Amino acid sequence: MQKEFKLMKGNEAVAEAAIRAGCDGYFGYPITPQSEIMEYLMLEQPEKRTGMVVLQAESEVAAINMVYGGAGCGKRVMTSSSSPGISLKQEGISYMAGAELPCLLVNIVRGGPGLGTIQPSQQDYFQSVKGGGHGDYRVIVLAPASVQEMADFAVLGFDLAFKYRIPTLILSDGIIGQMMEKVVLPEQRPRFTEEEIRKNTPWATVGKTPDRERNVISSLNLIACNQEAHVNDLKKKYDTIEENEVRYETYQCDDAEHVIIAYGSSARISRKAVDLLRAEGRKVGLLRPITLFPFPKKQISDLVAKKVKGFLTVEMSLGQMVEDVKLVVNGQTKVEHYGRVGGSIPTPEEVADAVKSIM
Amino acid sequence: MSSIAKKENLVYQRPALRTEKEYSFCPGCGHGTVHNIILEVIEEMGLQEKAIGITPVGCAVLAYEFMNIDMQQAAHGRAPALATAINRMMPDKAVFTYQGDGDLAAIGTAETIHACNRGENIVIFFVNNGIYGMTGGQMAPTTLPGMPSSTSPYGRDVETMGGPMKITEMISQLDGVYMSTRQAAHTPAYVRKLKKAIRQAFENQQARKGLSFVEIVTNCASGWKKTPTDANKWLEENMFPVYPLGDIKIDGKLVK
């Protein structure tokens, strides 16, 4: 079958790919720079294509709790927002982590803190990979660096969410959300039938039948030892995810003496910086974490073992991911950070200069 | 005794959909009665396999331990948001929320009003006892003027704390609300009326008429610092004048 190419914005690609991933419901609230996601869905009327529900909620808080309700019924559900809106959703995400509910979250990050700016940023790394809301928990974090990956990760995100009963977050930014690129869209797959939900997600609340006990979706556990056991079980799940789901990409790392570590838009810019430095005969490579949780710790350790002389993290932040790199490197070699904030975007030349400064 | 305890003499029994778990409510509390009546109606209408209930944060947080149906426990105030999604994606189910006054009329005001405004095809049960019960008797939006609570120890001062919020009257103004009524559950006569209202609400839901909203004004003997008997007397003398019982909206029309 001939592949279907389209020229789309990242926001549109994730929306279209979600429909094709068999999404049952999207619940959102407008915020720049991600409003095209809900606008695309409303225009596209997926209820006529697949029966997917699209609903504009009264707030981000309501939207994430609609996602909780739908996920509790075994449905493929999603929401999207940008930084301040994601902050509002954190309570609900914590509840979903506690109740072990699958869903797809999309954060098209803008600059903060506060209302900040509508320009692109990567300042939500800590919030994304360390839990984000209250309590010990993790969500799977996928960091796309292209419009193609915005589409691919909608499908992957749902699959990982259901595989582990965990919220999966696409951590993107205003550049990738807004820019247009060629994209190959996934094929349409069917939505779950109620029969499939009852069989594949037997915990879902779709109505108690005589052949099973009632199902309860809850994050509440008032008995201390039970809650401790539950949180320890969550930890085991996160360990399994760290074991099995690390995704990353390397570029020019084989003989690299210095390695840039960057994700998302910063990885695109850093790749160009690697080319500039290689043209000067400098042995520089790029490690692009695709999953930020789980974080590619082993891959960084391997580079340390190969006697890499120094790492530079490039992130549109004051330096967040750099802390995780330092934890892995553990003082064995130099780790520095280069970033721009507030909606400013680093140029490849700036990144190349920053690499030279650690040489 | 054994000659009396026969099936033909039975006037009341444990609802078939009650779990074996003992209620955790205080003596004299109205929640247990309301739980029982909802379960009786679900059973009598044959809705057990369709029913999906949403529990709040508050005294009824553990409703899922007592009701033998599929249930979800919501974040504080967000039950109507959960119910919205479930209703939209599974319109053939019987979705209801069960919420207290802090949950529904304070922190969840936005979710309440907008679920009503969209006319979600759900039933909302709103148990109003004028106080936060579970957290220990703090002031609610529904607390009466001058009424003491642990956060209005000198009585609710309307000048600085606002007056009792009649949210059932408020949401009744919205076109999406098909039925709204205010009932009580502290005497057998009121329980019979309440059961009729609950049945009507689920019938509306099954007929896809829109949102049905059933407020139940109850006591909180512990929060009010009264004996159960005194609490019921106080309920009639003080709560009912502010929250008059009866239908507010029937068949999509305000009752004159």
- Looking up residue A257, the CATH number of its domain turns out to be 3.40.50.920
Contacts of B69 in chain A (CB under 8 A): 207-208, 214
Length of chain B: 256
Alpha helices in A245-284 (DSSP H): 264-279
Residues A320/A295, Cβ–Cβ less than 8 Å = no
B252, β-bridge pairs: none
In degrees, to the nearest 5, what angle opens at C-alpha A310 toward C-alphas A307 and A314?
A: 135
Cis-peptide into A102, omega within 30 deg: no
A78 found inside a domain: yes
Question: Given this model, what pLDDT does residue A4 score?
Answer: 78
B70 reaches A (C-beta below 8 A) = yes
Q: Roughly how many angstroms between the first and final C-alpha of chain B, as a whole number?
A: 51
Tokens matching residue B60: 């009824």
**Structural domains in chain A (count):** 2
Out of A57, A73, A214, whose CB is closest to B86? A73
| Separation CA A5–CA B74 (nearest Å) | 42
B159 found inside a domain: yes
In degrees, to the nearest 5, what angle opens at C-alpha B23 toward C-alphas B21 and B28?
A: 160
Contact between chains at A217 and B72 (C-beta distance less than 8 A): yes
B18 found inside a domain: no
Size of interface A-B (CB pairs under 8 A): 125
| Strand B177-184 with A77-81, pairing | unpaired
| Strand A77-81 with A103-109, pairing | parallel
A207 found inside a domain: no
Question: Given this model, what pLDDT does residue B1 score?
Answer: 56
B69 reaches A (C-beta below 8 A) = yes
Contacts of A197 in chain B (CB under 8 A): none
| Strand A5-9 with A180-184, pairing | antiparallel
Q: Which of B39, B54, B70 to mutate to test the interface with A (most CBs of A within 10 A)?
A: B70
Q: Are residues A168 and A297 in the same domain?
A: no
Contact between chains at B81 and A218 (C-beta distance less than 8 A): no
Residues A246/A298, Cβ–Cβ less than 8 Å = yes
A346 found inside a domain: yes
Write the DSSP assignment of B139-177 as a string of letters: E-TTPPTT--BTTBTT---HHHH-----HHHHHHTSTTE
What sign for the dihedral angle of Cα A290, A295, A298, A302?
positive
| Separation CA A10–CA A145 (nearest Å) | 10
A199 found inside a domain: no
Q: Which of B78, B95, B98, B113 to mutate to test the interface with A (most CBs of A within 10 A)?
A: B78
Q: How far is B114 from chain A (nearest CA, A)?
A: 7
A76 reaches B (C-beta below 8 A) = no
A255 found inside a domain: yes
B6 found inside a domain: no
Out of B70, B84, B111, whose CB is closest to A214? B70
- Looking up residue B72, the CATH number of its domain turns out to be 3.40.50.970
Contact between chains at B48 and A220 (C-beta distance less than 8 A): no
Contact between chains at A69 and B54 (C-beta distance less than 8 A): yes
Contacts of A194 in chain B (CB under 8 A): 90
Contact between chains at B71 and A205 (C-beta distance less than 8 A): yes
Q: Are residues A174 and A271 in the same domain?
A: no
Q: How far is B239 from chain A (nearest CA, A)?
A: 31
Helices (H) and strands (E) in chain B, counts: 11, 10
Q: Are residues A175 and A268 in the same domain?
A: no
Residues A39/A69, Cβ–Cβ less than 8 Å = no
B155 found inside a domain: yes
What residue ranges of chain B have pLDDT lower than 70?
Answer: 1-2
Residues B73/A217, Cβ–Cβ less than 8 Å = yes
Per-residue DSSP letter, B47 = -
Q: Are residues A45 and A110 in the same domain?
A: yes
| Separation CA A141–CA A163 (nearest Å) | 14
Summarised one tens digit per residue, pLDDT across range A297-306 is: 999 999 999 9
| Separation CA A325–CA A104 (nearest Å) | 26
| Separation CA A327–CA A347 (nearest Å) | 27
B16 found inside a domain: no
Q: How far is B220 from chain A (nearest CA, A)?
A: 22
Q: How far is A59 from chain B (nearest CA, A)?
A: 8
Q: How many CB atoms neighbour CB B24 within 10 A?
A: 14
A91 reaches B (C-beta below 8 A) = yes
Q: Are residues A175 and A26 in the same domain?
A: yes
Q: How far is A217 from chain B (nearest CA, A)?
A: 4
Q: Are residues A177 and A275 in the same domain?
A: no
Out of B72, B88, B113, whose CB is closest to A205? B72
| Separation CA A209–CA B186 (nearest Å) | 33
A342 found inside a domain: yes
All residues at 6 or more sequence positions from B179 whose CB lies less than 8 Å from its CB, including other chains: B200, B201, B204, B209, B211, B212, B213, B247, B249, B250, B251, B252
Range of the domain at A87: 5-194
| Separation CA A295–CA A246 (nearest Å) | 6
Q: How far is B230 from chain A (nearest CA, A)?
A: 32
B101 found inside a domain: yes
Residues A247/A128, Cβ–Cβ less than 8 Å = no
**Structural domains in chain B (count):** 1
From the list B213, B203, B126, B202, the residue with the least C-alpha distance to B178 is: B213
- Domain end point (choices A173, A194, A215): A194
All residues at 6 or more sequence positions from A19 whose CB lies less than 8 Å from its CB, including other chains: A41, A44, A46, A49, A50, A52, A188
| Cα A104 off chain centre by | 9
Record the pTM: 0.97
SS3 B205: helix
Q: How far is A115 from chain B (nearest CA, A)?
A: 22
Residues A285/A256, Cβ–Cβ less than 8 Å = yes
Contact between chains at B114 and A215 (C-beta distance less than 8 A): no
Contacts of A220 in chain B (CB under 8 A): 61-62, 73
Q: What is the CA radius of gyration of chain B?
A: 18
- Looking up residue A82, the CATH number of its domain turns out to be 3.40.50.970
Torsion region of A87: left, alpha or beta (phi above 0 gives left; psi -120 to 50 gives alpha): alpha
A31 found inside a domain: yes
Q: Are residues A58 and A166 in the same domain?
A: yes
| Strand A310-314 with A291-293, pairing | unpaired
B91 found inside a domain: yes
What residue ranges of chain A have pLDDT lower than 50?
Answer: none
Per-residue DSSP letter, B67 = B
Q: Which of A52, A54, A91, A208 to mutate to test the interface with B (most CBs of B within 10 A)?
A: A208
Measured CA to CA in angstroms, residue A48 lies from A39, A42, A138, B163 at distances of 16, 11, 35, 47
Q: Are residues A253 and A340 in the same domain?
A: yes
Q: How many CB atoms neighbour CB A115 within 10 A?
A: 10
Q: Are residues A156 and A278 in the same domain?
A: no
**Phi and psi, residue A147, nearest 5°:** -65, -35
All residues at 6 or more sequence positions from B196 whose CB lies less than 8 Å from its CB, including other chains: none
Contacts of B72 in chain A (CB under 8 A): 68-69, 72, 205, 216-218
- Domain end point (choices A179, A194, A209): A194
| Separation CA B219–CA B184 (nearest Å) | 9
Per-residue DSSP letter, B9 = G
Contacts of B49 in chain A (CB under 8 A): 207-209
Tokens matching residue B202: 């689920």
SS3 A222: coil
Residues B110/A62, Cβ–Cβ less than 8 Å = yes
Q: What is the CA radius of gyration of chain A?
A: 21
B110 reaches A (C-beta below 8 A) = yes
SS3 B44: helix
Residues B106/B131, Cβ–Cβ less than 8 Å = no
Question: Given this model, what pLDDT does residue A1 score?
Answer: 60
Contact between chains at B73 and A91 (C-beta distance less than 8 A): no
Question: Given this model, what pLDDT does residue B4 score?
Answer: 80
- Domain end point (choices A151, A176, A194): A194
A37 found inside a domain: yes
**Phi and psi, residue B78, nearest 5°:** -100, 5
Q: With b meaning 16 or more CB within 10 Å and e meaning fewer, what string describes A142-168?
A: bbbbbbbbbbbbbbbbbebbbebbbbb
| Separation CA B252–CA B256 (nearest Å) | 13
Range of the domain at B131: 27-254
Per-residue DSSP letter, A136 = S
